[in-house]
Structure 1
Amino acid sequence: MGPIYTFDDFIDMIRRRAGVIILITLLGCIASVYWALATPHVYQSSEVIQIEQPKIANDLAPSTVEGSSARRLQLIEQQLMARGTLVDIIQRFDLYDDLTALRMSEKVDLLRRSVTITGVAAPREGYADDGTISVMTFTAEMDNPADAQAVAREFADRTRQMSAARRQSQTQETLEFFQRQEQNLIRDISELEAELADYRAENDLSLEGSLEFRRGEISSLNDAILELDREIIATRLARDRVNPDARAATIAREQAELDATLESLTTQRDLLQEQRETLTASLQTSPEVERELARFERRLTQLQDQLEVITARRNEAEVGFSLESDQRGEKLITLEQAELPDYPVSLSRKKRAAVGGMASLALALIVAFLLELRRPVIRSARQMTRETGLIPVVSIPDLSPREKRRTLGKVWQERLKAGKEGRAARMARKQKS
């Protein structure tokens, strides 16, 4: 059974619980004033930086810094919010020196919650999102305007420095890596060529491509031997066909010439035959040598191909390093510098006190309503009819004796009456005298 249904019931409740409502409201107003005076003002300062795209198109001079700007800036933000960086900033600007009771870990957490870093994504090109950030805003909220400005600028400056240092360090490490790879490949090629030269010397393969050369020599020797055989046969036939009717001296001279020619051809054939046998014997023992040479050639070809690729990448790394060294790549520029705030962003003390007073009044009304719910009593004929459906014939007031309550109005009236009586008595004494 609830006691409050109409506006009249609400007014009756306020009249009955006026003491509780006034007490709670008064205490709440005092607490609100203390809260408003004890709470410091909060000043806000923001610095905006813009991510400027490279001055030279990426197709013409590609950068070796991989990843989107959003990912790189997120890594930088994590480094900025690390404990070591925050402690350095606190000690540099003497932040929270008035809060001597706070430990350093609490100061670090307080600064971390006082600084916000937000980024605005760049417009998309087509349907692909490349994760590019166009603008970053650093906002600091402190109880001192100078500290808010200094902290916002410090975070923005550190972001610019860390971004430039990170990009230059990445390009330098990339260039040094490819330079080391190129030097290692050149050294490996030199060592392999030296091993190949030693192997050729050990196996009497001083000429480049000696196996193919030997096969070609054998083929040439075969052709030469075949030609000599033809000449020998022709010489023998010519010797057999000497005219027997000629003079003996002529026959002897022709036979001697043919014999000398035949002997010379035979000697040449024997030499060529011996050389062919030597080459053939060397080829019969060279399959293992041929396989080893093929392995050398494959390895040398692989190293040379790798060297070409590494050299091309090293050239690209040099271009990227030059871009970052000359500050022609992506960089962060100040779009809006942090200014000294003129007004606090927090509520004024008057507004805080007013809000606290309104909250105190609301709390007092809630407490009064709860007290009414605690003792739901029918106090009027209207409530009797509404709650029970019975219409009372007569209403008898409470005639039981009770102590008179001295309200503030009665006390004030009694004081006024006593004052008047006192003045009248003094006036009477003066007249008698």
Structure 2
Amino acid sequence: MAKTFTDEDDALLAELGVDLEPKRSGVRTAREERIIAGFEEVQRFVDEKGHLPRHSDEGDIFERLYAVRLNRLREQVDCRELCAPLDRQGLLDGSARQTAVPDNELDDDALLAELGIEVDTPAITELRHVRSSAQRKAAEEVANRNACTDFDQFKPLFEQVQRELDTGLRETRPFELKAEIEKGRFFIVGGQKAYVAEKGEQTLTDQGRTDARLRVIFDNGTESNMLMRSLQRALNKDEAGRRITDPAAGPLFAGELEENDQASGTIYVLRSQSDHPMVAANRELVHKIGVTNNDVKQRIKGAHLQTTFLMADVELVATYKLYNISRSKLEALIHRIFGSVRLDIQIQDRFGRPVVPEEWFMVPFFVIDEAVERIKDGTITNYIYDPKSARLVDRGA
């Protein structure tokens, strides 16, 4: 027989801190879970940034996405009522600063499209793009970061990777295997580039699985001392998680022409006869490294009339014939290797207009020759040029 409680019983239970209000069922629909998850992401943003998400063309695209989401939650009664008990910051009732949405502002789907995320349905009101709790957990493991105090050492690497992505020298592809997580590799997780700067000794978990402690640097200037399996989970759970491939020039050229090989062009190395003070003082070091599909001698005719040749005659130092290779990717690869010593000078064209020529580098010829040999044998992706020692060095060392 069910026991009935008196007023005295209720008072005693209240003293013990027992909530006498009837409990609502803890079971929520998938839609409700998505709405709450999306609201919690906005709350975390406000906690971290100290302000509401704003609409700005210069702002982070995720901030714009959160701003759109918050306004949609405010506009829909059922969403607002669902999230109201969780609204510790006054985001829904207007006590916090409003975030007006311009009429021409991108909606969730358009923002996601800019992020490269495919949208199967335009049902923005259902917040279908909110991550699941498992995805959020994996992302939070990655998000547990500190400021990277020596980020100035890594920032040029991220800038270089972006240039190589823009030129097609690198590509992104879905993450697949834990074995891909190695020192020196780049990934995209949580919308940010991540660089594995260090990898500790490999260990075995209680389940007999391999793991290792990593130092992961992110392109926003933060870092995380995380386990390899944590990064693996985050990449697997993030639908937009990607591995950034190592730079490659495509099918590498060989020293001898084979039956089915297709001629692609020529690498040429030039030395300038310019009387520009910087060039004259470093004539044995200043070289132009270019790639052409035309006859090189024909290409350098009239060099003294062209800004690309410093408005001066040039000496042809060396040529290397290419077969079965993308000229543009190879050129980008060479410029990546020697980008730190690109010659920074300004000259005037025939009309007196200032021009900054490209493809000129302050590097000894023997290093250029070694770089070409390493392109041939496919090992060049492991090397960078060290100006202090004037040699190619293993970037993983």
Shared fold by TM > 0.5?
no
TM-score (norm 1): 0.16
Q: Which has the larger share of strand?
A: 2
Q: TM-score scaled by structure 2? A: 0.17
Task: Pick the structure with greater CA Rg.
Answer: 1
